[in-house]
Structure 1
């Protein structure tokens, strides 16, 4: 028996090159692995083995007078009678920025059209846009449309025309989103406490209003309480990378995991939960500027847990297909396509094509193909194909 030493050396060379390649890839990706995989392992270990956030409530509790500093802002635009004398199924807050005029216009003419909802769906839904004051650009003259003064005048005109802007005099910015959250729940308490449900949504979200209304009507008939639904994040760790938009320093939040919360793109709570969250904001430190995380902290303090709904989107955009539209609740990341999506998703033929035994069978196969992909991230999960 003869041994081919050349072949052995060749195999060893290939193995060495393969090992070097794998190590190179690991070295390049290590930072990402450390910040995602490792941090999630730490997060789940903290969540389930160490404690269940028993110290968060104490650490975030502050004096009521100090907590008022996060809500003691003057209203520049307000509509105290928006809900007066009406049986409101849903009060919907859209978080928007002063300059996003086109987005607000698109929402008013599609899924946020209150007249359409009343006439076609037979319920009252109130849609308001919440915002702070525009940034002041020192280099811009006051009469410029891009200046803070020019934008504010445009907002005043827009509100006189539509009557749906709610504005307080804090600076409108990403780091003030928690102030918007507090404003929403306190405005709801003071102006529309009888609304059966409250929803908060981004201004680049699409809401399938017929599906959502039907779902909420069913929940209301069951006497919905402790109801909080959306795309749930469980065991999410704080991001400690300074280059991230969602960076949270240790001094602001020292634990390895956040309480459960729903993606801020869009979620719904019942009125009893809305009142509990409002009460929590009266004594909690709102300096953490990620609003959906602060929502989770408030809910944790009040003993409320979120419930996951497979057709509420996180950061992802849902696939364009009638089988998706048939059960869709929300989809994130829609600006230019919102009118086309509204027409397609609410077309009566969608229900016709997806109903019956063969329609459901066909749609299950389609949704498996569209949703059950390893790289399809943060929109509807694979299990949505079977719901």
Structure 2
């Protein structure tokens, strides 16, 4: 009896210590658990069970006079005639920063080469770089050298493709860049059949994208918004993250569905509706792709998932991927090599035929369906 009692006390002691240890770990790691597991559970519950995004729209609706504050900036560089009297398939805006001249040059020389697009693909795609103004600290230190703004003006004289407004170019003003794009299209290029917005470190497989958009245009598809879709994403509440959003800015548990801001496409009818939505929505939320989701939710448009639109990562380097690639994210130094490889004539020769399709399916499964492997395309892309 005495032995049994001692053994029982020992088991209780072990249980108590284990409980204390677990509670200690939970307390230490609670912030991370709350920002990852708990917040996602709450977000998914809000998204699929409560689904009160109508309240989100109502809470962010403001009078037009107040909404003008977010879009009524003067143009420092502009080309309002860019689309005049032209049949524009795609108006493609590249979000860039003033200092990223090498990225812009790389895009002009590869997938954003409008002469190549016109001559090789037989369509008109207008590529414009959108940016804000330099901060006061970026002004030239002396009058003997060209300042950053003068360098931008010189660059624009050479290429005529910079659209710049007078707000400060920063991460927290990305939503202002989004507004600029939809307002500029509404004013100067409303007849373009599609609008695309992309980061300046993205690779766009223009031949594949043009073929896809031509097919959508022939089918007369409307309400098109396509990209890498995020569903049931929670706001980031960790102050250490650059995506931190305080409760007073967005008090809800989940964002409306949206596409990754790295690159997505909308049809012209959606672009027009988004423009009108921005006229009455509070654009202080600086996560631009989320704000796009809020605007789309307000007009009743839902995003469409495309397996070969990249979100946050690079696509695997392989010809079987290139044959269906739309976008790939995170390309700067390698953009020239990727453009050469992805558009090589041999790429189109490897896919056709039963053997070719089977080979590429096996390759894509090996590249995209590995467990615990973060990639830009989902496993289901291997079978499309």
Fold conserved between structures, TM > 0.5 = yes
Q: Following the alignment from structure 1 to structure 2, what is the Cα–Cα distance between the partners of residues 134 and 85? A: 33
Q: Tell me by how many angstroms 1:17 deviates.
A: 12
Q: Which residue of 2 aligns with 1:38?
A: 38
Evaluate the alpha carbon distance shift between residue 23 and residue 316 of structure 1 in structure 2; reply closer, same or farther with a 3 A threshold: farther
Of the candidates 218, 222, 227, which is equivalent to residue 219 of structure 2?
A: 222
Cα 1:225/1:18, change in 2 over 3 Å: same
CA RMSD in angstroms comes to 2.2
Cα–Cα, structure 1 residues 144 and 294, in superposed 2: closer, same or farther, change >3 Å? farther
- Asked whether the 8 Å contact 1:238–1:248 carries over to 2, the reply is yes
Listed one character per residue, the Cα deviations across residues 45-83 of structure 1 (whole Å, up to 9, x for unaligned) are 111222331201111110100000001100010001100
What do residues 187-206 of structure 1 show as CA deviations (whole Å, max 9, x unaligned)? Answer: 00111000000000000000
Distance change >3 Å, CA 237–CA 142, structure 1 → 2: farther
SS at match of 1:236: coil
Pairing partner for 2:196 from 199, 204, 209: 199
Given that 2:224 and 2:266 are in contact with CA atoms closer than 8 Å, whether structure 1 keeps it comes out as yes
The answer on 1:79 being equivalent to 2:79 is yes
Structure 2 residue 200 is the aligned partner of structure 1 residue 212: no
Give 1:5's aligned residue. Answer: none
1: CA distance, partners of 2:183 / 2:139: 36
For structure 1, list consecutive stretches of 5 or more residues without a partner in the other structure: 1-14
How far does residue 24 in structure 1 lie from its aligned partner after superposition?
8.7
Deviation at 1:137, TM superposition (A): 1.7
Query: 2:154 matched to which residue of 1?
Result: 157
In 2 relative to 1, CA 200–139 (structure 1 residues): closer, same or farther, beyond 3 Å?
A: closer
Q: Cα offset for 1:224?
A: 1.8
- What pairs up with 1:220-299 in 2 under 5 angstroms? 220-299=217-296
Alignment check: 8 A CA contact 2:368 2:375 kept: no
Distance between the aligned counterparts of 1:280 and 1:378, measured in 2?
Answer: 33
The TM-score, its normalising length taken from structure 2, stands at 0.92
Q: Which moved more, 1:100-109 or 1:50-59?
A: 50-59
Distance 2:207 2:355 in 1: 23
Aligned to 2:350: 353
Deviation per CA, 1:278-305, whole angstroms, max 9, x where unpaired?
0000000000000000000000000010
Select which of 338, 341, 348 maps to 1:341: 338
Q: Kindly tell me the number of residue pairs found equivalent between the two proteins.
A: 370
2: distance between equivalents of 1:70 and 1:102?
Answer: 29
In structure 1, the partner of 2:319 is 322
Identify if the C-alpha distance between structure 1 residues 144 and 186 changes in structure 2 by more than 3 Å, giving closer, same or farther. Answer: farther
- Distance in 1 (CA, whole Å) between partners of 2:66 and 2:357 is 55
Change (3 A) 1:335 1:220: same
Q: TM-score, normalised by structure 1?
A: 0.91
Q: C-alpha separation between the residues in 2 aligned to 1:83 and 1:57? A: 33
Q: Could you say what secondary structure the match of 2:280 adopts?
A: coil
More deviation, 34-43/170-179:
34-43
**1:52 and 2:49 correspond:** no
CA contact (8 A) 2:263 2:309 kept: yes
Change (3 A) 1:27 1:57: closer
d(CA) in 2 for partners of 1:18 and 1:327? 52
Matched, 1:381 2:375: no
1:198 and 1:106 mapped to 2: Cα distance? Answer: 21
Gaps of 5+ in 2: 1-14
Q: Pick from 300, 304, 310: which aligns with 2:301?
A: 304
Query: Does the aligned pair in 2 maintain the 1:322–1:350 contact within 8 Å?
Result: yes
User: 1:12 corresponds to which residue?
Assistant: none
- 1:330/1:28 Cα in 2 relative to 1: closer, same or farther (>3 Å)? farther
Q: 1:384 to 1:251 in 2, by over 3 A?
A: same
